[in-house]
Structure 1
Amino acid sequence: MSVRVSLVAAARSSALLAERFDDDRPLDDTGWHEVRLAAHSLIPLAAAELRYCSPTPRSRATGAALGFAPLVQPALRDCDMGRWRGLTLADVAAREPAGVDAWLADPRSAPHGGESLLGFISRIGGWLDTRPVREGWIVAVAEPAVVRAALVYALNAPPPTYWNVDVRPLSTVTLIGLPGRWSLSLGVFPG
């Protein structure tokens, strides 16, 4: 028996260059517009037996707008960025260029005083591996960073692969498997 986990990246809460680390902002007008445009293709995911979301306002709003009525999962929170929380990458690079370089180069590094990339990927993998082990379907709306971490974990890819995964708002990916044994499934939603 295996479980199917469909991950949906939350709609946007800001323009790409204005994104902030560990951002708690709600959906912006563009995000709401994108949810309305994508709803027809994402609503079938509401048929999943279990529906979850990250605790961020934009993840909760995305899940609710799609009719998922998701349960908040604290383990699906974004990476803890410590003192960088609320800043843009440009802000941090101007203030702490060596810290940014260390963070990007070493997955065990946490120059911000928060969670390392490796710790973040492991936490998200732990969430995946503790899903009910039975035939079933789960949908989770989460921050793009959470979806990236889940993919790196599921594919057992080296942690730096995280930086090469582009997760757009409202994109979806499905993982099928059992704890510690996941496969990526591309294609149409299960019916």
Structure 2
Amino acid sequence: MSVRVTLVAAARSSAPLAERFDDDRPLDQAGWHEVRLLAHALVPLAAADLRYCSPTARSRATGEALGYAPLVQPALRDCDMGRWRGWTFADVAAREPAAVDAWLADPRSAPHGGEPLLAFISRIGGWLDTRPADDIAAIVAVAEPAVIRAALVYALHAPAPSFWNVDVRPLSTVTLMGGPGRWSLRLDARPS
């Protein structure tokens, strides 16, 4: 039996250029506004058999605001960014340009002392592959954009560097259908 996993990107907690690595800030005013605007299209996903979220404040708040009453899944946590936690990409690029270059070029590297990209993608893929399929037709999970990018790379068996080429906008959705090792992608339009 196959399972349908719909991933919903958490609403934002800061302006895009102010986003910080491994950040756990709550939704900002713009994020709450986006939830109110798009809720009509996302609330029906609450009918899923299982409802999950990343452990971040903004993922939990997004799931609650949409009526999902999600169960926090530690496996859906964002990539561990080690000593770069709390820094913006611009901060890191200015302070450690060679380390950023190494990190972007080699998915096995972790110059920040945290989790390598390959390990992150594998962790998210492991979560996907262990979703129950018996008597479960639909799952919804609110997650950080990086989690959704990792899930897509894993499901499509894409090379790890393709992670950098996927843009996940706040409150966008994507659906994966299948089961362990055999996922297919269904693109959903961003609700308007």
How high is the TM-score relative to the length of structure 1?
0.97
1:49 aligns with 2:49: yes
Instruction: For 1:140 and 1:156, locate their aligned partners in 2 and report how far apart those are by CA, in whole Å.
Output: 21
SS at structure 2 position matched to 1:115: coil
Q: 1:69 maps to which residue?
A: 69
Q: Any unmatched runs of 5+ in structure 1?
A: none
In the TM superposition, residue 186 of structure 1 has moved relative to its aligned partner by: 2.5
SS at structure 1 position matched to 2:132: coil
In the TM superposition, residue 6 of structure 1 has moved relative to its aligned partner by: 0.2
How high is the TM-score relative to the length of structure 2?
0.96
Q: In terms of mean alpha carbon deviation, does 46-55 or 131-140 score higher?
A: 131-140
Q: 1:178 maps to which residue?
A: 179
Q: Deviations over 1:120-175 (max 9, x none)?
A: 00000000000002241000000000000000000000000000000000000000
Instruction: For 2:188 and 2:94, locate their aligned partners in 1 and report how far apart those are by CA, in whole Å.
Output: 42
Q: How does 1:112-127 map to 2 (within 5 A)?
A: 112-127=112-127
Aligned length: 188
Q: How does 1:3-152 map to 2 (within 5 A)?
A: 3-134=3-134, 135-152=136-153
Instruction: For 2:116 and 2:139, locate their aligned partners in 1 and report how far apart those are by CA, in whole Å.
Output: 27
Assess, with a 3 A threshold, how the Cα gap between structure 1 residues 141 and 112 changes in structure 2: closer, same or farther.
Answer: same
Instruction: For 1:160 and 1:9, locate their aligned partners in 2 and report how far apart those are by CA, in whole Å.
Output: 21
Q: Given residue 107 of structure 1, which amino acid in structure 2 is its aligned partner? A: P
Instruction: For 1:35 and 1:146, locate their aligned partners in 2 and report how far apart those are by CA, in whole Å.
Output: 19
Q: Any unmatched runs of 5+ in structure 2?
A: none
In the TM superposition, residue 187 of structure 1 has moved relative to its aligned partner by: 4.2
The answer on whether the counterparts of 2:84 and 2:92 sit within 8 Å (CA) in structure 1 is yes
SS at structure 1 position matched to 2:52: strand
The answer on whether the counterparts of 2:173 and 2:188 sit within 8 Å (CA) in structure 1 is no
Instruction: For 1:29 and 1:51, locate their aligned partners in 2 and report how far apart those are by CA, in whole Å.
Output: 25
SS at structure 1 position matched to 2:101: helix
Q: Given residue 146 of structure 1, which amino acid in structure 2 is its aligned partner? A: V
Instruction: For 2:103 and 2:59, locate their aligned partners in 1 and report how far apart those are by CA, in whole Å.
Output: 25
In the TM superposition, residue 85 of structure 1 has moved relative to its aligned partner by: 0.2
Instruction: For 1:79 and 1:187, locate their aligned partners in 2 and report how far apart those are by CA, in whole Å.
Output: 25
**Identity, % of aligned pairs?**
84
Q: 1:168 maps to which residue?
A: 169
Instruction: For 1:142 and 1:187, locate their aligned partners in 2 and report how far apart those are by CA, in whole Å.
Output: 16
Instruction: For 1:133 and 1:71, locate their aligned partners in 2 and report how far apart those are by CA, in whole Å.
Output: 18
